[in-house]
Copies of this chain bind each other. A is one copy, B any other.
Amino acid sequence: MIQTEDKHAHVLVSVDVVVLTLVERELNVVLVQRARAPFAGVWALPGGYIHADEDADAKASAARVLRTKAGMEGAYLEQLATFTGPARDPRGWSVAIAYCALIPLESLPTQRADLKVVPVHAVGQLPFDHAQILQAALARVRSKSQYSSLPVHFCGDAFTLPQLQQVYESILGESLNKVSFRRKMDEMQLLEPVPGALQGGGAHRPAQLYRVRPAFRQELALSTRGL
């Protein structure tokens, strides 16, 4: 490394992940108890340093943080924004590359004392600028849910259209027109029926089960005019 670079080039860089899930129609966020200073013992967003020797990029760092600090695999991950400045971390000028993860409740590990799932409206104080990062994640998810397939990542492998509509309604905080919702889902060509699979169990007509088409497992589908 050339000497003249060192003056400015290197600042503290970490990744922080806002893991969101739906619990009883409410957005919840996953917090972990910090193992070390600063803020040892405090509940915070899962985060960690970039490991230049093993991470292919910051997204890989975020995935590794989820795996090692929250025992979580396979969540949908997208970069949110990067938060910077001298005040956000007591150790000095720092950079946090924030990611947003969406995961079905069933895929969260259970029985971990260092993990908790909290309704987003009931999250109290958070260390660093994690409250601001959480707000940015919520704004992003609510905004993208208006015109994209993002919310399917809160569902498991197979789900019914009424279930998916309820997921959208929970995120957007408003009820949606059933006919319009189905028209839009159809237009996006996001889903395919699971052949012969119906979800019964109630005293009523069973619903067709659907799954996300392979093309949209990693990519989002967009609807031109919203919803």
Are A50 and B1 in contact (CB-based, < 8 A)?
Answer: no
A95 to B57, CA, bound (A): 9
Min CB distance, A212 to chain B, in Å?
22
The answer to the question of A12 belonging to the interface, with a C-beta cut-off of 8 Å to chain B, is yes
Main secondary structure of the interface of A (DSSP, over half): mixed
Counting chain A residues whose Cβ lies within 8 A of the other chain, the interface size class is 20 to 34
State A58–B11 Cα separation when bound (angstroms): 12
Cβ of A85 within 8 Å of any chain B Cβ, yes or no, is: yes
Q: Quick one: which of A35-93 are within 8 Å of B by CB?
A: 49-52, 56-59, 79, 81-82, 84-86, 91-93
The verdict on A13 contacting chain B, using a C-beta distance below 8 Å, is yes
A52 with B86: CB separation less than 8 A: yes
B10 touches A93 (CB 8 A): no
Which chain B residue shows the least CB distance to A56? B85
B225 and A9 contacting across the interface, CB-CB below 8 Å: no
**Which B residues are CB-close (under 8 A) to A225?**
225-226
Q: Does A224 contact B (CB under 8 A)?
A: yes
- Measured CA separation A97–B94 after assembly (Å): 13
Residues of chain B within 8 A (CB-CB) of A95 are 13, 50, 58, 95, 97
11 A-B pairs besides A5-B49, A82-B97 with CB distance below 8 A are A9-B13, A9-B14, A9-B49, A10-B10, A11-B50, A52-B86, A56-B85, A57-B85, A79-B81, A84-B97, A95-B95
